[in-house]
């Protein structure tokens, strides 16, 4: 079992930055692959970024690559999503997610644990 607590969402103007945090508790964080998904109104939940349990392997959706950075601190049991050069199309609810596997988790059906989501709104 693991509980995920997200923070850092909010409103920002286009070109600005936000840093999302997801603190995990309940189990050994270093055993979990972690992902950030996002869901815009009227759209399906989709992958934004993912990171393996060690932090050595990452994945980014084409829409965010070069602008977003996923990282993790296995001492603080926290995964981060640094979002730079934000665009209005990045507006969505962002969800932290975890699964106790090696490698990456890139699709919602693979996820076992979800955070509650945090709203990111980017204005033009």
pLDDT digits (tens, 9 = 90+) for 32-48: 999 999 999 999 999 99
- Residue 68, C-beta contacts closer than 8 angstroms, at least 6 positions apart: 48, 49, 60, 81, 82, 83, 84
Point out which residues pair with 11 in neighbouring strands.
121
Does 27 score more than 80 pLDDT? Answer: no
Dump pLDDT digits (tens) for 64-121.
999 999 999 999 999 999 999 999 999 999 999 999 999 999 998 888 899 999 999 9
3-state secondary structure of 65: coil
Asked if the model's pLDDT at residue 58 lies above 90, the reply is yes
pLDDT of residue 109: 85
pLDDT of residue 111: 85
Strand partners, 19: 82
């Amino acid at each position: 079992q693991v509980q995920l607590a997200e923070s850092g969402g909010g409103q920002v103007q286009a070109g600005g930055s936000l840093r999302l945090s997801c603190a995990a508790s309940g189990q050994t964080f270093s055993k979990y692959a972690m992902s950030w998904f996002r869901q815009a109104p009227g759209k399906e939940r989709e992958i934004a970024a993912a990171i393996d349990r060690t932090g050595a392997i990452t994945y980014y959706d084409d829409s965010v690559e070069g602008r977003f950075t996923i990282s993790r601190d296995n001492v603080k049991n926290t995964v981060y999503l640094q979002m730079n050069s934000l665009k209005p199309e990045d507006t969505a609810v962002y969800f932290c997610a975890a699964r106790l596997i090696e490698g990456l988790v890139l699709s919602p059906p693979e996820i076992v644990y979800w955070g509650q989501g945090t709203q990111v709104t980017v204005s033009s």
